[in-house]
Structure 1
Amino acid sequence: MKSLTNYGKLSEQPPKLTIKHSWEQLVRFGWIQAQSCLFPVVIFASLAITKFLPLPLLPRYDWLLILFLLMQWWMVRAGLETRDELKVITLFHVIGLCLEIFKVHMGSWAYPEDGYSKLLGVPLYSGFMYASVASYLCQAWRRMKVDLIKWPKFYFVAPLAFAIYLNFFTHHYWLDVRWWLASLVLMVFWRSWVSYEVGGIRYRMPLAISFVLIGFFIWIAENIATFFGAWKYPNQAEVWRLVHVGKVSSWLLLVIVSFLIVATLKRIKGKNPIR
């Protein structure tokens, strides 16, 4: 990756690249990622603890909802998330919950445990798993001072995001056009880059690669979540199995939708320069 300063301008004297410096930058990058993943970490920890620890008074799904609501309140109260970021996260909660209700109705996966806070067979805590993706994007965006380079026009981005989200529903009744949509993503974002700062030095990478990387790590997280019983796919009803690698494509497209929404909202708010 090329060293950048001041939103993408190439540094005339980039720092000398040594093994020590590279390692220090990697540690800094990892620490920023860890801070940005606080909400997802709490979700995984809660799933693990509540799976093996007997809970009084309420079913497990209801305790998870209470824990996640308290965590969300604390993050805003402590200044780890802004009120604007909370609005984005709430939007993702609604989007994710709608998708969950439809997918459970279609038999794609299930929430077999009891709970008072279930809506049409879906526990309300499930929306927080989508909201946690938005939480990560918002926090990483802010902490690494993300800048988008050669971002496409709104009239390309908005219909593409809508089509990707719509395909999660329509492929049950019509063709699954995810690979056509993935091809469109490559075409639309072929010249787009994401620039970010680590330790006072700016780097950049093709936006499409960042989509793939985030989607892959969410697939790993999905395997952890299903292992701890967050939800179950039909082939996991009797015993846990690795989530099919083909699900990476689904998460990749969902990450793209998430990224496009966050980027568009930040552009509307005027808090992110897009060149």
Structure 2
Amino acid sequence: MSEPRRAHSRFHQVRLRLEAMAVVPGPRGWFLEFLVFGFKQGWACLFGGLMLALLLGTHLFWPEGVPVHRYDAITVGAVLIQLSMLTFRLETPREAVVILLFHIVGTVMELFKTAAGSWQYPEASLLHIGAVPLFSGFMYAAVGSYIARVWRIFDFRYTRYPPAGATWALAAAIYVNFFAHHWLPDIRWLLFAATGLLFWRCQVWFRPLHVHRRMPLLVGWGLVALFIWFAENIGTFARAWTYPSQKDGWHMVGVEKLGSWYLLMIISFVLVSLVQRPQTPCQT
């Protein structure tokens, strides 16, 4: 058995042992549930974690004078990560379709935003489209991979989920605004308001261990957007891409970017919902 397949098998063995443990009421039971929650979250973040390790590792240890561009090595590494995820059944084929959509959606946005000067890729590469190295699409795919995997691993269920057509319209409006605000008024505050109106009653039910817990979906999106913002700071520190304000040296990305990531989360969630249909807690 190959090493990744053994790792996958070990994960399932550990998860089965944890889920078989009796949870007694009180702090000890809560602590066990918290540990399992963290374990599952880490497993869901596998693609994103490996991508961040690849960006940071090549930034710190890439040797000077080698004939291969660092960005091209990142692209090849990202392809190998994606193929491994599929080969060792860490992602399902349906999830891979969603991730392909993320590649397309993300690459189109990258081409436009780099042309508009919103950010840039400061290093050379051979594997690129325009000014965008091909590994950029995998960073969007990491978000899609996480949402698809966490949805499945935690057995997400929803109460008061809005009509699918309304969520698709909202996601489309958010995506268009990412482009249109360069010429037209930025309507992101209207989009935040529309998001609140659609989802303020929606609860996501997730199962860390034996029973489902719940939280407002709007809160869950905010927490994920926060972690993506932390990951973005690691990515810019590793000079995977840079913002104009970081031209003279790295500094943390402004917290205002949290709003952009929050809106991107909605697009991501709606794309995943195309293959992971939202179910209610009473559905099996």
Tell me the TM-score normalised to structure 2 length.
0.88
Aligned-residue CA RMSD (Å): 1.3
Deviation at 1:234, TM superposition (A): 0.4
Aligned residue for 2:56, secondary structure, equals: helix
Q: How many residues align?
A: 257
Which residue is 1:232 aligned to?
242
Change (3 A) 1:124 1:92: same
Q: Which residue does 2:201 correspond to in 1? A: 191
Aligned to 2:170: 160
Task: Pick the aligned partner of 2:60 from 46, 52, 56.
Answer: 52
- Corresponding residue for residue 38 of structure 1: 46
Contact 2:69 2:126 in 1 (8 A): yes
Q: In the alignment, what sits opposite 2:191?
A: 181
Match of 1:213 among 223, 239, 258: 223
Residue correspondence of structure 1 range 1-275 to structure 2 within 5 A: 17-55=25-63, 56-267=66-277, 272-274=278-280
SS at match of 2:213: strand
Letter in 2 for 1:192: C
- Aligned residue identity for 1:44: L
* SS of structure 1 residue aligned to 2:207: strand
CA distance in 1, matches of 2:186, 2:276: 31
Question: Match of 2:261, SS?
Answer: helix
Distance in 1, matches of 2:184 and 2:138, equals 29
Q: Distance in 1 between matches of 2:122 and 2:196?
A: 38
Q: Equivalent residue for 1:7?
A: none
Deviation at 1:16, TM superposition (A): 5.9
SS of aligned partner of 1:81: coil
- Give distance in 2, aligned partners of 1:86 and 1:175: 35
CA distance in 1, matches of 2:274, 2:74: 31
- Give TM-score scaled by structure 1 length: 0.90
Equivalent AA in structure 2 for residue 48 of structure 1: L
Q: Percent identity?
A: 39
Counterpart amino acid of 2:34?
L
Whole-angstrom CA distance in 1 between matches of 2:175 and 2:25 = 42
TM-superposition CA deviations, 1:145-177 (whole Å, max 9, x none):
111222111221111110011111011111111
SS in 2 for 1:50: helix
